[in-house]
Amino acid sequence: MRRILLSAAALVLLAGCSAAPGAAERSASAPSSPTGTSSVRALLDGLVVRPERSGAGYDRDRFGYGGDLDPDGDGCWTRREVLIRDSVVPPTIGASCRVTGEWRSAFDGRTTTDPDAFTIDHLVPLLEAWRSGAERWDPRRLVAYGNDLGYRPSLQAVTAALNEQKGNADPARWLPPRDHCGYVADWVGVKARWRLAVDPAELAAIERVLDGCGDLRIPSPGEPDLDSLT
């Protein structure tokens, strides 16, 4: 049963957030061999619902993304690791981990061979995570979230212009041009993995999309491995 915290905010019902045609058949972006699956509805029901916090004290740098973090010592930091993983053809890795490959954005289906045309999307943006509970985390957990390579939906290579358009918005304020079902399913998976809350408007938007998606299941989010960054 969903745990609901007292709130003065009313539910905001959104219009125009219907799923893309055929999206109900999609099972969310995920590793090809998941160890288990979870019902998106069940994961959503397990999330705490409360008003979003103000974001006071937020500092993007505290999440450790964008630097030279390289836990496995292969010379590739997080952005390059995602590009290597997400290439739809076998990638080539050159000096300073310069990656050559081809990428397809889940947001709009665009493909490119120019890695600079794509940015890495934190599916649940860093500021959104902060407002949803991360403001209470210790530094180790913040960095683990900012560099979560252990759950594919957490970080994705997508069309740069759309990622900029999305900004820090949750599904109540932004959805990609295609595959709303897969997008919100992945969103729920990331929030469940990191035990982040949803606010009432966000919840209403997610439920509205899921109403047109059938019984979606995604790879079980599991618990993040904080030791992977040490």
- The predicted-structure confidence for 88-122, as pLDDT tens digits, reads as follows 999 999 998 999 999 999 999 999 999 999 999 99
Contacts of 227 (CB under 8 A, 6+ apart): none
The arithmetic mean of pLDDT across residues 34-52, rounded, is 92
Nearest to 73 by CA among 97, 100, 94, 92: 97
Q: For the chain, what is the mean pLDDT? A: 86
Residue 7 in any domain: the answer is no
pLDDT at 14 over 80: no
Count of structural domains within the chain = 1
Residue 151 in any domain: the answer is yes
Residue 108 in any domain: the answer is no
**Bridge-partner residues for 100, per DSSP?**
92
Residue 188 in any domain: the answer is yes
> Which parts of the chain fold into alpha helices (H)?
40-45, 78-86, 126-131, 139-146, 160-166, 180-193, 200-210
Residue 215 in any domain: the answer is yes
| Distance, first Cα to last Cα, the chain | 35
The arithmetic mean of pLDDT across residues 213-222, rounded, is 95
Residue 70 in any domain: the answer is no
CA-atom Rg of the chain in angstroms: 17
Q: 221 or 17: whose pLDDT is higher?
A: 221
The domain in which residue 169 lies consists of 23-56+117-229
Residue 138 in any domain: the answer is yes
Residue 1 in any domain: the answer is no
pLDDT band at 68 (very low <50, low <70, confident <90, very high): confident
Q: What is the DSSP letter of 4?
A: B
Nearest 5°: the CA angle 164, 149, 77 is 75
